[in-house]
Each structure stands twice: as C-alpha cells, then as structure tokens.
Structure 1
Amino acid sequence: MTSTLPSDLTTLAVDVAGHIATVTLTGTGHGNAMGSAFWHELPLVFNALDADEDVRAVVLTGAGRNFSVGLDLNDLLASWGEHVRPDAGATARAELLADIRGKQAAITSVATCRKPVIAAVSGWCVGGGVDLIAAADVRLAGRDAKFSVREVKVAIVADLGSLQRLEGIIEQGRLRELALTGKDIAADEAERIGLVNSAHDAVLDAARAMAEEIAANPPAAVYGTKRTLTAEREARIASELREVATWNAAFLPSDDLLEAITAFSEKRKPHYRGH
C-alpha cells in the first residue's frame, strides 16, 4: 500500500488484494457492535484507503453471521453517562453534541472516500449498520440479510446519516415507514424498495466481482464520476446532520431515553410516556 493503515486495529480488518480493499467489521461485541474504538478506527481506515493510489475499490462487510447489530449500547451508555439524564446541563449537552458530531464524521469518511465502496450485507444490519451502508455507493445483500432503522424504538432520532442518505436511495414514503416504525425488513423487501441493488446467495463474491469491474476502469474517471454524483448530495447532508445533532443534544436527554436504557438492561419491553 502507498498509504499507512493503523497497525493496531481492533474493530476492523483490512485486506488488500490487487486493487481491491476488503474492510471487515469485527466489532467490539456481539454481532460486530459499534463501540468507541470503532468510531475512532473507521475514519483512520477510510482516510488511508482514500489516499492509497493502489486501491481502486472497497468492499465493506461484516465478520461472522451479521454485518452489524448497530451501536454497542453498553459501551454507549457507559460513555454517555450523565450526558443523557433529563437534567443534563449545558456542558453535558455540549459534550453530547461533540460526541454525535464525531460519530457523524466517521460515517462521512466512508461517503467521501474517493474510492467506490460496495457494502456486502449478511445477517442483521441494524441502526448504525444502516447508517454505514447508506454511506456506501452500492449495497448488496445476502439472502439472509435483515435491515432495521431501529433508533425510534429506543427513544433516539437516528442522527448518523441514514435519514439523510437514504433519501434518494429509497422513496420518501418507504423511508418514513422504516424510520417511524423501526420495523425489520428482509433482503427480498430491501431489494424491492431499492435499499439494496440485489440479493445473492454468495454476497461477498458478488461484491468483489463488482469491485473488480469498477477497478478495471480508469481510476481518474471513476473518481470524477463518484465526485460528481456525491458532491451536491453531501453538501445537503452536511447541513442536515448538523441540524439533527443539535436536536439530539437538546432533546435526547429524556425520561423516555432513561426508560429505554432501563428496559434494555432489564431485558423487558419499554413503556414510554412522552416525557
């Protein structure tokens, strides 16, 4: 490689063969959950791949049975602590805002990487996992894949890009249905509504074949094409991400969020009161 990847990655594995880089989520917990180290490592990896002139396309996938079950809630709750209590003060809310903006920037590093990114999704792809694949250029699914924009079910407005980037990938009505219900959908429905381009028996092989097809094209033309397709969209998204981060820093601390946290720890269904 002509750029340097971190040598001590714990949540991502990177393999480069020819002109194709495969980035595999290994997570910090069950189901490739996204903990603190993941949010630190993701932009380091994609910035390095962006700068590597030998890499012409990236395949993004998950280790094991799942792509990602989303944010590591135990890790997240430990790091948020007092920041999400209903009586959180201005300093705590400002720190929460900075944390959200940092996670948004990590996902954006995938969207703005000059090299086309193909997501190969098997098993569960939930919450932050959907944020991540929404930042990819192309999404392919295994037959067993299941997707959920689930944040609303835990008293959170999805704030890492799925609400912004899925607009234009799927139609507005479908996006609202997924985001407002938090429902799960299978690979066939994801293909039908356009969330994924296609479903495959061997999704990683399909993604690598597409990456090879892209890598065979002139690199400057590929980069120019991606930049042209991405520039206006990402400018709009940047503004919308700032708005949702500000909203969550102000309104995320709530009795309903505490109830979601308590219900999660007690393994029961939450009871929301709108407080």
Structure 2
Amino acid sequence: MTDTADTLSDLVALKVDVDGHVAEVTLLGPSKGNAMGPDFWRELPLVFRALDADPDVRAVVLTGSGAHFSYGLDLPAMMPGWAPMLQGDALAAPRTAFLNEVRQLQDAVSAVAECRKPVVAAVSGWCIGGGVDVIAAADVRLASADAKFSVREVKVAIVADLGSLQRLASIIGEGHLRELALTGKDIDAARAEKIGLVNDVHPDQDTVLAEARKLAAEIAANPPLVVQGTKDVLSVNTERQVADGLRYVSAWNAAFLPSKDLAEAVQAFLARRPPEFTGE
C-alpha cells in the first residue's frame, strides 16, 4: 500500500484508510454536508484509480463523514467557474469550456464505476444530486434508516448530467427513475429499498458502516482476479449505453443549460426562497 499511500497523502475532500484488503474512502467535505466542490472532483478520480491499481486492495467501502453522505454539488463553489457559460449570449468558446468541465466531472464519477475493485456504498442522512450520481456508480448500496435520497437537479433547472440518468435505470428500473428525475422528490430509506436503490436498510449509521465493511470483507475473501472478472463481465451489459448517454447529456447541457430559469434557481438558492420558473 506504500505507493497508494504516497499518491493519496495530500487529500482534502476525501480520506482513505485500508484494513487488510479493504479500502475505506470517506467524504470529508470540507463544505457543509460533504458538498462536492472543486477539491472533491479533483481527488475522486485520483483515489479510485490509485485503488484500482493497488494489488493489495480487493474491495472498497465508500461513505460520508458526519451525519450525511453528501448534499451533492457545492453550487456556490462551482458556479464562479461556470459564469461565462451561464450568460444568455454565451458563444462557442465558453460553451466548449463548460462541455469539457462537465465531461471531467463525469470522468470523476466514472472512475468509481470503472474501478476493478467492487465498491460498497454506505449511506446515512442526505444523499442528494451528485451524491446519487456517485452511489449509482458503486456496485452495492446500503443505507441507514435515516437516509434520504433525491435526484434533485430538475429543481434547480439542470438536466442531471453526471450519471444518475444513465446508471439508475438498470438499478431501479425506468419507471422509478423517471419519477425521481422528473419530480426531484425526496425518498426515504424504506422507499429506496423497495425500489432497489439500496440492497438493505440498517438501524443507524454505525450499523450500516459495519455491515458495509463486513460485505466488502466477504468480497475481498474471494479470488481477486475472479471478482474483478465478474465485475467486468457484469459491467459490459451497460457500459456502452452509459458512455453514450453521458456524452449526449453533456452536449445537451452545453447547448441548452443557460436560461432565465437557471438564473432564477441560483438566485432563489442563495436567497433561500422558492424559485418561480417561467420556462425561459
């Protein structure tokens, strides 16, 4: 683990611990509710590619620090870099820059899915937007009874573009995905278990993390190359469809994201008031 430890020695938004053949990746924030800002998006692919390359690691647990898994995208931290794109008269250059950034964020989430070591997500508290994108890229999801989930991008005038719309259909089915994505509604752990978003619900945060570690250890006890091969064979069923969908939605958002409704969503978010959308 020495090379991996050296690679991951200066992390800010994530922490990596290893026990035996199981690595544990913890979201640290530093924003409230482990919201996902620039540090998170820079570090996520570094972490999962390092774990993928480490022969001593055979399974990964992914969880959040504090009471919540993640509030999702850190809008105040991310918006300044998107400002040129969000102008109503944005031309090709800022749109292309925005397209490139979306695809970088997509690649960060895809690093979780592409990690050859199976990933078990342990979710407590809120898991919103980008948080759902990330757990959708995991192999198995477990939740505590207080967990709540939301594909909330539609409520802030954004088409979700980091993987939920591409990966969740094969996990929860098309009908449930359309309901969540088109309403932006919140669902609790019981509903998440019923529709297959999570495999099991446990009483509290400590228990779900213990069960995730137990499951990861059970996976890690199997022949590692066969486990990796099994994940590879399972993934081939959807990987082309996911890649095509990610490419399409990034281009769609680069073309159509700037709107009065998006500006209203941002202003309402900052002012902590309900937005009033006009379809412009």
Residue equivalent to 1:229: 234
Q: Is the 8 A contact 1:3 1:51 kept in 2?
A: no
CA distance in 2 between counterparts of 1:249 and 1:18 reads 44
Q: Is the 8 A contact 1:57 1:215 kept in 2?
A: yes
Q: Does 1:269 align with 2:271?
A: no
Residue equivalent to 2:201: 199
Residue equivalent to 2:142: 140
Q: Is the 8 A contact 1:156 1:257 kept in 2?
A: yes
Residue equivalent to 2:251: 246
Displacement of 1:6: 2.3
Deviations, residues 58-112 of structure 1 (Å, cap 9, x unaligned): 0000000000000001011122112112211111100010010000000000000
Corresponding letter in the other structure for 2:113: A
Corresponding letter in the other structure for 1:55: V
CA distance in 2 between counterparts of 1:81 and 1:13 reads 30
Corresponding letter in the other structure for 1:171: G
Displaced runs of 4 or more, over 2 A: 2-6
Residue equivalent to 1:120: 122
Corresponding letter in the other structure for 1:61: T
Residue equivalent to 1:169: 171
Q: Does 1:111 align with 2:113?
A: yes
1:85-96 paired onto structure 2 within 5 Å? 85-96=87-98
CA distance in 1 between counterparts of 2:48 and 2:153 reads 25
Cα RMSD for the two superposed structures: 0.8
CA distance in 1 between counterparts of 2:104 and 2:236 reads 21
CA distance in 2 between counterparts of 1:85 and 1:155 reads 15
**5+ unaligned residues in a row in structure 1: which ranges?**
none
Q: Is the 8 A contact 1:57 1:115 kept in 2?
A: yes
Residue equivalent to 2:35: 33
Residue equivalent to 2:86: 84
Among 17, 21, 24, which residue is 2:23 paired with?
A: 21
Q: Which deviates further from its counterpart, 229-238 or 209-218?
A: 229-238
Corresponding letter in the other structure for 2:241: R
CA distance in 1 between counterparts of 2:8 and 2:59 reads 19
CA distance in 2 between counterparts of 1:103 and 1:271 reads 28
CA distance in 2 between counterparts of 1:89 and 1:27 reads 34
TM-score of the superposition, structure 2-length normalised? 0.97
Among 204, 219, 241, which residue is 1:214 paired with?
A: 219
Using the aligned pairs only, state the percent identity.
Answer: 63
Corresponding letter in the other structure for 1:110: V
Q: Is the 8 A contact 1:2 1:53 kept in 2?
A: no
Q: Is the 8 A contact 1:71 1:128 kept in 2?
A: yes
Residue equivalent to 2:75: 73
Q: Does 1:43 align with 2:52?
A: no
**5+ unaligned residues in a row in structure 2: which ranges?**
none
Displacement of 1:267: 1.0
CA distance in 2 between counterparts of 1:260 and 1:207 reads 36
Among 179, 182, 188, which residue is 2:181 paired with?
A: 179
Q: Is the 8 A contact 1:28 1:72 kept in 2?
A: no
